[in-house]
Amino acid sequence: MMMKEQLEHPTSIPFIEAKNIVAKALENYINESALSGSNVLIQQSPEEIAEALEIQNLFEKGFQNTHRLSSFITTYLKHSNHLKNPRYMGHQVAVPQDLSGIPDWIHGTINNPSSLYEMGPAGATLEGFMMNWMLRQLGWFKGTDLCDFSRLEKNGSGILTHGGSIANLTALSAARAAIEPDAWEEGNPQDLVVMGPSTSHYSIVRAISIMGMGKNAFVPVPVDENEVIITEAMEKVYSKLKREGKRVMAVVANACATSTGLFDPLDEMAAFCKKHQLWFHVDGAHGAVALLSDVHKDKVKGIEQADSVIWDAHKMLRVPALCTAVLFKNQEHMWNNFRQKGSYVFHENEVIGMDSMPYTVECTKSALGTKLFWSFALEGEKAITNFIENSFQQALDLYQYLNNHPDFHCPYVPESNILCFQYKPDQISDQDQLALRYELINSGAFYITSCMMGGKRYLRAVLMNPQSNSKDYVALIKAIEKNALKLLLEED
Ligand SMILES: Cc1ncc(COP(=O)(O)O)c(C=O)c1O
- pLDDT band of residue 5 (cuts 50, 70, 90) is very low
Nearest C-alpha to atom 9 of ligand 1 is from which residue?
164
| Stretch 150-176: mean pLDDT | 95
Number of H helices, E strands in the chain: 18, 12
| pLDDT higher than threshold 80 for residue 346 | no
d(CA 22, CA 332): 45
By most ligand atoms within 8 Å of CB, the mutation choice from 161, 162, 165, 228 for ligand 1 is: 165
What percent of the chain clears pLDDT 90, i.e. is strictly above it?
A: 87
Q: Per residue in 30-85, pLDDT tens?
A: 999 998 789 999 989 999 999 999 999 999 999 999 999 999 999 999 999 999 99
Distances (CA, A) of 178 to 160, 174, 182, 336, 389: 21, 6, 10, 8, 37
Average pLDDT, stretch 109-132?
A: 94
Query: Is 170 close to ligand 1, i.e. is its CB under 6 Å away?
Result: no
Query: Which amino acid, 187?
Result: G
Given a cut of 70, is residue 7 above it in pLDDT?
no
**Lowest model confidence (mean pLDDT) among 123-132, 331-340, 401-410:** 331-340
Q: Are strands 418-423 and 456-462 parallel, antiparallel or unpaired?
A: antiparallel
Return d(Cα 302, Cα 263) in angstroms, integer: 11
Nearest CA-CA partner of 94 in 307, 327, 374? 374
* Res 345 pLDDT > 90: no
> pLDDT-based confidence at 2, cuts 50/70/90?
very low
Give 106 Cα–ligand 1 centroid separation in angstroms: 26
Distance 186 CA to ligand 1 centre (A): 30
Distance (Å, rounded) from C-alpha 126 to C-alpha 123? 5
pLDDT tier at 1, thresholds 50, 70, 90: very low
Instruction: Locate the ligand 1 atom nearest the alpha carbon of residue 200 and give its number.
Output: 1
Instruction: Tell me the domains of the chain and their CATH numbers.
Output: 2-81 (no CATH), 113-379 (3.40.640.10), 381-491 (3.90.1150.170)
- Cα dihedral 61→66→70→76 (10° resolution): 20
Question: Comparing 349 with 230, which gets the higher pLDDT?
Answer: 230
**337 vs 174: CA distance, rounded Å:** 5
pLDDT tier, 267 (very low <50, low <70, confident <90, very high otherwise): very high
Question: What sign results for the dihedral spanned by CA atoms 211, 215, 221, 227?
Answer: positive
Q: State the distance from the centre of ligand 1 to the C-alpha of 286, rounded, in angstroms.
A: 7
**How high is the pLDDT of residue 402?**
96
Q: Which of 201, 319, 322, 415 to mutate to test the pocket of ligand 1 (most atoms within 8 A of CB)?
A: 201
Please indicate whether residue 439, judged by its CB atom, sits closer than 6 Å to ligand 1: no
- The mean pLDDT value for 308-330 works out to 97
Average pLDDT over residues 251-255: 98
Under 8 Å between Cβ of 41 and 82:
yes
How many angstroms separate the CA atoms of 338 and 332, rounded?
A: 12
What are the residues facing 160 on neighbouring strands? 325
What average pLDDT does the segment 147-175 reach?
Answer: 95
Residue bearing the CA closest to ligand 1, atom 6? 164
393 alpha carbon to ligand 1 midpoint, in Å?
Answer: 22
165 CA to middle of ligand 1, Å? Answer: 6
